[in-house]
Amino acid sequence: MTIICWRNGFMASDSCWATYGTQTVSAVKIQRLSSGALLGSAGDNDARAMVKLLDGVKSPRGLPSRRELADTKTDYEGLIAFPKGGVWMIVTGRHDETGYPLGPDGAEESESDYGVWPATTMGGFAAAGCGADYALAAMKAHASVSAYAAVKVACELNVHCRLPVHVVPLHPKRRKKR
């Protein structure tokens, strides 16, 4: 129950942490890793295993393998933005003992939605979470729409995304644009 957006050096998120569709906590979903990278997290409210796995990663070359992702046993979708190295999507979910993804009914799912890949193929912006389609549409339709504004759009249109919006610059000296 999340929206994470990236555009022009800023990562933005909503505040809704939910349990079974009901908001239980309002929280910031973006954190700065020890490498200086930003990590925006959607999925399991408890993503400590994923954060621990990614905290030491300094560049895209160090991003985890499918096996390492599976070993976190975390249902996760997020964006990681490196100070020098672009923005990457990270997705993992329920899996079998060999690391292959499982659907809600226990059947094997497509591997294409499970792993790590470059996230800014749409012209320098990206989004993750249940509100991603709304945010991506807003950023695609209007070149001037910021990550902040795209999250606001997702919060207006997706019942699982909630205000307030949090914005974190990749480079701490930059001020957020609204």
pLDDT, tens digit only, all 178 positions of the chain: 689 999 999 999 998 876 766 777 778 899 999 999 999 998 777 788 999 999 989 999 999 998 898 888 888 999 999 998 899 999 987 666 665 556 555 555 554 467 899 987 667 899 999 999 999 999 999 888 999 999 999 999 988 888 999 999 999 876 655 6
Match 């019942």 to its residue by tokens: 159
Exposed/middle/buried for residue 7 (C-beta within 10 Å: 0-12, 13-18, 19+): buried
How many Cα neighbours within 13 Å face the side chain of 14? 32
Give Cα separations from 140 to 48, 85, 89, 120, 131 (angstroms). Answer: 32, 22, 18, 12, 14
**Domains of the chain, first to last:** 4-169 (3.60.20.10)
